[in-house]
Amino acid sequence: MDPVMAQETVWQLSSHGAAVELQALLKTFPREQVKVLLDNADDLHRMAIHLACYHGQTDVVRLLLSVAPKMLHVCDKDPLRRALPLHYACWGGHWHLVQLLLDEGASITSVDCVENTPLLYAVFGGNLDLVKRLVKMGCSLREVNSRGHSAIIQAACNGHLDVMHYLLEHGASLSERDSAGNTCLLFAAWGGHLHVVKWLLSSGCSLDEVSDSGHNALLSAVNSGATDVVAWLVDEYHADLGMRNSNSDTCLLLAAFGGHMELVKWLLARGASLDERNEDGLDPLLSACNGGHLHMAKYLVSLGCSPRVRNDGGYTPLILAACGGHMQLLQWLVYEQGCSLHDRTIDGDSALLLACYCGHAGAAEWLLDHGASISEYNKGGMTPLISAANGGHAGVCEALLHRGAKIDERDRDGYTALLLAARRGHLECVQVLMMYGADTHARIKHGLDAVALSFEQDETREWLQTTQDMTPLHVAVLMQNKAQVLRLLHQGHSPVCLTLRNEAVTPLDLATREQPLLPALPAPQQDIRVLIKAANMRWSPYTHSLFGPRTRRNVMTVLLLAQRLPLDRPDLPLLPEEMWHHIIAMMGRDDDDHTTAMNEGPTATLAPPTPNRFRVSLV
């Protein structure tokens, strides 16, 4: 069976409880492949055991635990959750499965990465019977996660009024707040649970309750686009549509930022003004572009908002779209609204500079393709590359370097991209910049180099101390970056060159050592070993592409003269006729001299070609 189809089948069988069919399928694969199938996660970061637990498939869970007992303690792959099988069983509300997992050794006090407990997951799922059973087992209603969410706040957020009643009977309070000052009423309004909002207000909660950011129930409902809650609060409780949060955002600005079209139209019909601005000077159109909502931007422009509007800091709709990497919005503003790529904020930042700083490689490349300059800089002298390094975006740095960005350019404070990345502790950026040849001994005006600047960044400092004197090829091998290794070999870097201090460690040594140089790095992969070893071999049609430009050019010339490739090449070097005769005569020689990337030169001996082997591409 195709691996992709097999994986999809495993997830489906786990979700639907087909334990017999799943067992039969797993028996058709070797043990290592079974491990892969059970370890892979779906688009929602759930592995087979998590799917089975959430859907209450007890037989499948028993089967999976018999195949891999350690799966009892395996977290899902969502970096914002990292939930265990027990959490998924509680979330799905399956008491019989919770009992099974506890009997197998799961802990009733286990937490995910934000400290949600099994009880909080049961409340989140709204299963009252399971909540009661967990409380009887000793789970405390005082449990809160790292954001300060208690059980009753979780219940209000998800609209589980029956669970709220039970929790209140057992000591919970409607006055509880999370770490940001949000109450049950604010969460119910944000969740769009009108029936809970009505009950809370009738139970003594007040519209005057506000969070630390200045949001009351009305603004919370606006934030999530809950038009029915907003309308009810205004019509029945006379909530003030002129209410602003601590950033001076109005209902219209929040709705535009969230892209809530129905609510924006309702607010405008109730008298909201397109001239409203917050304390940062953002109007509805700027708010919509800040949120990346093309449909909202089009609607607001159709009402008369200007696509060239600026806030107090000089940000335009285009610049805000670039900050968020919103490609369709960018294209619409340029193609249909004629917005300029060269507008600047009051600090001199352009759309390109901010796209790089915010880590949007696609937006940055699109801007470069449409007229932005890779050498532009802001008032602080920051170029796109320095901005990307400052933001810690290694992928953007690499994209810019591919496009010819000057790697050691400095800003007004004397920082290169590498120095700033080192100071910020952006290790991946440091590694990429070193692979592309950044000067590791550059210093700022005060004389500090990259190692000194990273004194507060332990991981980055350790890396720099170990690799500061290595060449780009050394670093590329260490990082197992096959594409960059090939690129450097094509440029003529030798697989047997020493470090900058002539220490007796070559890229070939690094590629073939059994243990990594740094504990945090992966062990060298087989393809990198083969690649580096091949680059140190005698020239052949199969190693041709690994050699430096001079050897490749000489070999191409010889092959052209031997009429194994077309002779009408415009890039043939002009050599005296006797030199050509000498090169042609060399084709018949078979001595032991090896031509390697280390041993390039006009007298290098070429391995005798075999005619039927020259079908490979030699460009």
CB neighbour burial string for 256-271, b if at least 16 within 10 angstroms, e if fewer:
bbbbbbebbebbbeee
Predicted pLDDT at 91: 96
- How far apart CA 424 and CA 386 sit, in angstroms, is 12
Q: 159-173, 293-307, 351-365, 523-537: which has the minimum mean pLDDT?
A: 523-537
CA distance 535 to 492: 10
Q: Which residues contact 153 (CB under 8 A, 6 or more apart)?
A: 176, 178, 182, 183, 184, 187
| pLDDT at residue 494, rounded to an integer | 80
**Residue 237, exposed/middle/buried by CB under 10 A (0-12, 13-18, 19+)?**
middle
Rounded Cα–Cα distance for residues 414 and 405 (Å)? 17
E strands, 190-246, in order: none
* pLDDT reading at 258 higher than 70: yes
Angle formed by the axes of helices 95-104 and 128-136, to 10°? 40
Residue 544 has pLDDT above 90, yes or no: no
Q: Which residue shows structure tokens 């077309």? A: 566
Q: Residue 546: its pLDDT value, please?
A: 65
pLDDT more than 90, % of the chain: 72
Of 217, 221, 224, nearest to 257 by C-alpha is 224
Helix (H, G, I), strand (E, B) or coil at 396: helix
pLDDT at residue 602 tops 70: no
The conformational region for residue 322 under phi > 0 = left, psi -120 to 50 = alpha, else beta, is alpha
The residue among 513 and 455 whose pLDDT is bigger is: 455
For residue 400 the two structure tokens come to 């810019």
Q: Return the H-helix or E-strand segment holding 384.
A: helix 384-391
Average pLDDT, the chain: 86
Mark residue 45 as left, alpha or beta (left: phi above 0; alpha: psi -120 to 50; beta: remaining): left
Question: Is residue 330 classed exposed, middle or buried when 0-12, 13-18 and 19+ CB atoms within 10 A define those classes?
Answer: buried
Q: Which two tokens stand for residue 481?
A: 């970056």
Out of 170-174, 429-433, 533-537, least confident range? 533-537
| Span of 20-34, 63-77, 588-602 with lowest mean pLDDT | 588-602
**Band (521; pLDDT cuts 50, 70, 90):** very low
Q: CA 289, CA 351: separation in Å to the nearest integer?
A: 13
**Among 121-125, 157-161, 588-592, where is mean pLDDT lowest?**
588-592
Residue 610 has pLDDT above 50, yes or no: no
Mean pLDDT, to the nearest integer, of 406-428?
Answer: 95
Count of CB atoms situated within 10 Å of the CB of 298 = 14
Q: What's residue 492's pLDDT?
A: 81
| 443 φ, ψ (degrees, to nearest 5) | -135, 150
Reported pTM: 0.79
* Best CA proximity match to 221, nearest among 187, 198, 246: 187
- Residues 392-413 pLDDT 10s: 999 999 999 999 999 999 999 9
508 confidence band (pLDDT: 50, 70, 90): confident
477 pLDDT band, cuts 50/70/90, is: confident
pLDDT at 566 over 90: no
pLDDT at residue 595, rounded to an integer: 40
Whether 617 has a pLDDT exceeding 90, the answer reads no
Q: In 41-181, which ranges are continuous DSSP H helix?
A: 48-54, 58-67, 85-92, 95-104, 118-125, 128-136, 151-157, 161-169
Place 519 in a pLDDT band, splitting at 50, 70 and 90.
Answer: very low
Cβ distance 233 to 239 under 8 Å?
Answer: yes
d(CA 9, CA 372): 47
Decide if pLDDT at 567 tops 50.
no
Phi, psi of 45 (to 5 degrees): 70, 15
Closest CA to 269 of 237, 297, 243, 234: 234
Summarised one tens digit per residue, pLDDT across range 185-229 is 999 999 999 999 999 999 999 999 999 999 999 999 999 999 999
pLDDT, one tens digit per residue, over 88-101 is 999 999 999 999 99
* Average pLDDT for 120-125: 96
pLDDT at 506: 80
pLDDT at position 529, please?
64
Report phi then psi at 449, rounded to 5.
Answer: -95, -175
- What distance in Å separates the CA atoms of residue 609 and residue 110, rounded to the nearest whole number? 67
Tokens representing 336?
Answer: 């249909």
In angstroms, the CA 216 to CA 259 distance is 20
Give the model's pLDDT for residue 561: 55
Instruction: Answer yes or no: is pLDDT of 444 > 70.
Output: yes
DSSP codes of every residue in 224-292: HT-HHHHHHHHHHH---TT---TT---HHHHHHHHT-HHHHHHHHHTT--TT---TT---HHHHHHHHT
Residue 614, pLDDT score: 29
